[in-house]
Amino acid sequence: MAKKRPIALLSELASHKETFGGDMPLAPGHRMCIGCGIPPIVNEVILAINEPVIISNATGCLEVTTGVYPVTAWNVPWIHVNFQSAATVMAGVEAAYKVLKKKGVIPEDKKIHFVAFGGDGGTYDIGFQALSATAERGHNVLYVCYNNEGYQNTGYQKSSATPIGAYTKTTPVGKAKVGKQEPRKDLTMIMAAHGIPYVAQASPHIFRDLTRKTKKAISMDGFKFINVLEPCTLSWRFSPEDTMRLAKLAVETRYWPVYEVIDGKYWKVNIKPKKPKPIEEYIAAQPRWKHVLKYPEILEKIQKEIDEKWNLLLHLEEMSKKLAEEEGVDYEELFKVPED
Amino acid sequence: MSYQLKPWHEIPIGSIVPEAGSSKINHTGSWRMLRPVLNYDKCTHCLICWIFCPDDSIPVSPQERFETDFEYCKGCGICAVECPYDALEMVPEMEIKLKELEEELG
């Protein structure tokens, strides 16, 4: 029999599980697709927070599968709101918490964390103005976007997170047009431009990184945003067991850079693949996008977008090191998670 | 899987579901086509399969991984792909069922 060697971090997370009566924050029996990448994201984020949390959830895959009336899969307080309001409803809850604390209804030392979950439809497109407004008002909320690059809940329509050339129900592939015509929007950069305390991009297969980023985010006061890539087995049309393999491939090909930004000015790229895999490998794994391999001009555009973004990130990192030095701030210290 | 729907005047205001994690009455194990079979000799209880399981069907303690909960396992196979020690193998559910039936009939 092999020796027992639990990974220290996972062992720690497993002990947090006891607070939910032995189940994960997201209990079994939900109607998520076979091999869905959303539950690991939700579980990693909530288990990393070792204090009470309240969740709000925009309409999307996560909501329709976990909140089928009259049962719920959630082991934490959860509010379902309409498509655009995940961020603003959480802002309201947070404001109520502050007032109740002032009135003495909630004890002074009780710490509650506020987390909003939204898909890329509810974050990039429909919920964007509410998200931006909540960020501007600086509510103490952590917003986690699970980005599956389209409206998968309604059968895969295009969203502004869908990459160029990809097939969706609203951007079919034919003689006149090949999939989506526009490149994807970079919401993480837009959120960083809000100058909020913490913005990050993560991938669920690197659980170390995602849990650390969650811990870092909740240690800060103000609006925080984490964008997580979530390969969708149903709409990207790959085999269900490959969900985490695709999330890994996205990072290895630099398609999904894993980085974090503090105060909108100190940038750090967390994972730098030394020998990036060719983007063709990532594209070939997804039948929704595979046809672009036949169109070198689209492939070139995709590669150019990835290389330019990567280069920009490296430059921003270099510049923020210089900026920190000029301001007399310890650059490495900025990204450390404070011990409690 | 069964639940009684309440009459309108007994439904909590705002469609509140007072019981947490009540979705456990849905036994999603019936969706399964492939079954993850664990080789205990290879398992090091690293818990990687647990954190990636979308259906919370791998019961664990901080030190140990227990047998998969087949009431809820949908058989996606992420655990078998992600296991660094190849301790899991996906076996068609039909084969297992047939074997069980053969044993039963002698």
* Domain locations in chain B as residue ranges: 30-105
In angstroms, rounded to a whole number, what is the distance separating the alpha carbons of residues A28 and B55?
5
pLDDT tens readout for residues A98-156: 999 999 999 999 999 999 999 999 999 999 999 999 999 999 999 999 999 999 999 99
In angstroms, rounded to a whole number, what is the distance separating the alpha carbons of residues B89 and B80?
6
Interface of A with B in 195-214 (CB under 8 A): 204-205, 207
Chain B residues within 8 A of A4 when measuring between CB atoms: 44-45, 63-64
Asked if the interface predicted TM-score (ipTM) of this complex is over 0.95, the answer is no
Please answer yes or no on whether B80 and A241 come within 8 Å at the CB atom.
Answer: yes
**Does residue A317 surpass a pLDDT of 60?**
yes
Q: How far apart are the first and last CA of chain A?
A: 38
Chain A residues within 8 A of B69 when measuring between CB atoms: 28
Mutate to test the interface with A, among B30, B39, B51 (most CBs of A within 10 A): B51
Beta-strand ranges (E) seen in chain A are 53-57, 78-80, 113-119, 142-147, 198-202, 224-229, 259-262, 266-269
Mean pLDDT of A247-253: 95
**Does residue B2 surpass a pLDDT of 80?**
no
Closest chain B CA to residue A67: B23
**CATH annotation of B30-105:** 3.30.70.20
Q: Give B106 to chain A, closest Cα distance, Å.
A: 31
A318 contact partners, CB below 8 Å, separation of at least 6? none
Who has greater pLDDT, A339 or A247? A247
DSSP annotation of A253 reads T
**Does residue A196 surpass a pLDDT of 60?**
yes
H helix runs in A166-295, sequence order: 187-192, 207-218, 243-252, 279-284
User: Amino acid letter at A16?
Assistant: H
Mean pLDDT of A66-76: 90
Q: How confident is the model at residue A78 (pLDDT cuts 50, 70, 90)?
A: very high
pLDDT tens readout for residues A267-294: 999 999 999 999 999 999 999 999 999 9
Q: Give A284 to chain B, closest Cα distance, Å.
A: 19
pLDDT of residue B15: 81
pLDDT of residue A198: 97
**Does residue A340 surpass a pLDDT of 70?**
no
Mutate to test the interface with A, among B56, B69, B74 (most CBs of A within 10 A): B56
Nearest to B20 among A4, A28, A75 (CB): A75
Nearest to B42 among A2, A13, A27 (CB): A2
pLDDT of residue B4: 76
Chain A residues within 8 A of B71 when measuring between CB atoms: 28
Please answer yes or no on whether B26 and A31 come within 8 Å at the CB atom.
Answer: yes
Please answer yes or no on whether A6 and B57 come within 8 Å at the CB atom.
Answer: no
Average pLDDT value over all residues in chain A: 94
Closest chain A CA to residue B57: A28
Q: Give B101 to chain A, closest Cα distance, Å.
A: 27
Q: Give A230 to chain B, closest Cα distance, Å.
A: 12
**Does residue B3 surpass a pLDDT of 80?**
no
Interface of A with B in 7-26 (CB under 8 A): 7, 10-15, 17, 20-24, 26
C-alpha distances in Å from residue B91, one per residue of A162, B5, B45, B88: 35, 38, 21, 9
pLDDT tens readout for residues B27-74: 999 999 999 999 999 999 999 999 999 999 999 999 999 999 999 999
Closest chain A CA to residue B87: A2
Interface of B with A in 38-97 (CB under 8 A): 40-48, 50-57, 59-64, 69, 71-72, 74-78, 80-82, 85, 87, 90
pLDDT of residue B13: 87
Closest chain B CA to residue A240: B76
- pLDDT cut 70: percent of chain A above it: 99
Please answer yes or no on whether B22 and A28 come within 8 Å at the CB atom.
Answer: no
Q: How confident is the model at residue A173 (pLDDT cuts 50, 70, 90)?
A: very high
Q: How confident is the model at residue A228 (pLDDT cuts 50, 70, 90)?
A: very high
Q: How confident is the model at residue A17 (pLDDT cuts 50, 70, 90)?
A: confident
Burial, B5: exposed, middle or buried (Cβ in 10 Å; 0-12, 13-18, 19+)? exposed
Please answer yes or no on whether A20 and B25 come within 8 Å at the CB atom.
Answer: no
Q: Which is nearest to A142 in space by CA: A204, A214, A211?
A: A214
Q: How confident is the model at residue B10 (pLDDT cuts 50, 70, 90)?
A: confident
Cβ of A66 under 8 Å from any chain B Cβ?
A: yes
- pLDDT cut 90: percent of chain A above it: 92
Q: What share of chain A is helix, strand, coil (3-state, %, to 5)?
A: 45, 15, 45
Cβ of B8 under 8 Å from any chain A Cβ?
A: no
Q: Give B72 to chain A, closest Cα distance, Å.
A: 6
Cβ of A219 under 8 Å from any chain B Cβ?
A: no
Mutate to test the interface with A, among B76, B89, B91 (most CBs of A within 10 A): B76
- Beta A142-147 vs A113-119: how paired, if at all? parallel
